[in-house]
Amino acid sequence: MPMVARRITFGPLAAMAAAAGLACMTATAQPAFAQQKLTIALPGVPPVFSTAFVFTAQDAGLYKKYGLDVTLKPMDSGVGAARAVVSGAVDVSLSPTPPVAVMISNAGVPLKVIQGMERPDWLIGSMDASIDSCAKLKGNAVGVDSPRGARWVQLQNMARPCNLLPDRDIPTVNLSTNVGAAMVGGQIKLGVLHLDDVPVIERESGKKVHVVARIEEVAPGTHYLSVVTTKKVIAEKRDALVRMLAANIEAIDMMYNRANVSKVAGYAKPTGRTPDDAKHGLNMYLDFNFWPHDTPGLDQKRVEKSIAIQASIGKQTSGKAGINPEKTPVSYAEFTDLSVWNDAMALRKKMK
């Protein structure tokens, strides 16, 4: 599986703070941290734009501020990233909520979700104006990330009203996060896209992207992305996870300050967006309230609806997709550990 590692290494905390231009921390004013390492797997090569908060935490020196040595590993898909967490190859992943729920329910893997992004922005885009409805997807190839990856799952969700299934009724093309580029190049007419993909495709192709379906219209109130780890990592590296989430919270605070748009756009360079596209995308997502602000981003109703949809798909497909009907769907309490985020929020307040 292709991956690109980006590592942060550092020396003593006081030197790090000075190098990052941060205020000097004293033992009485703010907590001192022992150095700890974490590896985070990101969805997509290049990573999807939703990971901008992680790159902001890294490149703005926030992980350093909280005493962390972080390595980022982009992977072909968020599902692959979650599997790397299960195998112990990485500590944390950013992975789509539905397949994580399926993994826990079907295989009993010891995953836990500690933070999330609630609002999915998925849509099916078409370069062919005549393919303008769910029913017309039948027999037409659609670009996705990987088999049963995030885009594949969302194609499945958006095609459900037409009783169509990916790879049974709708051929799929596996492209990681390069679906938009393939549409621009004319290799495919249809793709599962993020909100910020559309203006980029339209500008680079000179053609209009027609929206066939939007996930929030087809299945409103579902949950998008989860920050995933394992019970073992929580037991062994809980302090590092708390610090990681505290840095994430501070990074998201920074992103919602519109004065930082140009700076954050620069941090988002690894997502493959140009500076102008990154600025535009950032403003679009801030208007969309995409990143959770002062909440863990794990609304119970959204999470439970996503799990229920996967259980329904499992019944409709006799367990070939979704949650196997012979298995018990994971509960919200089993799926999440909110205590890590609560401790991180308390730490963030101490560090202000």
Residue 186 and residue 257 share a domain: no
Report whether pLDDT(211) > 50. yes
Interatomic CA distance for residues 298 and 308, integer angstroms: 15
Query: Which of residues 90 and 11 earns the better pLDDT score?
Result: 90
Interatomic CA distance for residues 322 and 102, integer angstroms: 6
Residue 246 and residue 114 share a domain: yes
Asked whether the beta carbons of 57 and 252 are under 8 A apart, the reply is no
Q: Render 32-90 in DSSP notation, one character per residue.
A: ----EEEEEEEETTTTPGGGHHHHHHHHTTHHHHTTEEEEEEEES-HHHHHHHHHHTS-
Interatomic CA distance for residues 53 and 293, integer angstroms: 11
pLDDT-derived band at 32, boundaries 50, 70, 90: low
pLDDT at 21: 40
Record the tokens describing residue 69, joined without a space: 């040595």
Report whether pLDDT(14) > 90. no
Distance of CA 98 to the CA centre of its chain: 12
Residue 234 and residue 99 share a domain: yes
Residue 32 and residue 171 share a domain: no
Residue 292 and residue 243 share a domain: yes
Asked whether the beta carbons of 111 and 233 are under 8 A apart, the reply is no
Report whether pLDDT(12) > 70. no
CA 290 → CA 121, 253, 286, distances in Å?
8, 13, 6
Mean pLDDT of the region 7-25: 37
> Does the residue 189 lie in any domain?
yes
For residue 79, give the nearest of 55, 108, 111 by alpha carbon.
Answer: 111
Residue 232 and residue 211 share a domain: no
Residue 100 and residue 249 share a domain: yes
> Does the residue 267 lie in any domain?
yes
> Does the residue 15 lie in any domain?
yes
Q: What percent of the chain has pLDDT over 70?
A: 91
* CATH code of the domain covering residue 17: 3.40.190.10
* Domain termination residue (choose one: 168, 198, 218): 218
For residue 157, give the nearest of 209, 104, 222 by alpha carbon.
Answer: 222
**Domain span holding position 128:** 123-218
Neighbours of 288 (CB within 10 A): 12
Mean pLDDT of the region 261-286: 94
Residue 260 and residue 180 share a domain: no
Count of domains forming the chain = 2
Amino acid occupying residue 35: Q
Residue 321 and residue 184 share a domain: no
pLDDT tens track for 94-131: 999 999 999 999 999 999 999 999 999 999 999 999 99
CA 314 → CA 41, 145, 146, 175, distances in Å?
27, 21, 19, 25
* Domain termination residue (choose one: 199, 218, 237): 218
> Does the residue 1 lie in any domain?
no
Mean pLDDT of the region 281-301: 95
pLDDT-derived band at 352, boundaries 50, 70, 90: confident
pLDDT tens track for 297-313: 999 999 999 999 999 99
pLDDT-derived band at 139, boundaries 50, 70, 90: very high
pLDDT at 29: 47
pLDDT at 30: 57
> Does the residue 140 lie in any domain?
yes
Interatomic CA distance for residues 41 and 5, integer angstroms: 9
Residue 275 and residue 164 share a domain: no
> Does the residue 190 lie in any domain?
yes
Residue 203 and residue 174 share a domain: yes
Beta bridge pairs of residue 125: 191, 211
pLDDT at 16: 34
pLDDT at 324: 97
Residue 259 and residue 132 share a domain: no
pLDDT at 4: 43
Query: Which of residues 158 and 3 earns the better pLDDT score?
Result: 158
* Domain termination residue (choose one: 197, 218, 239): 218
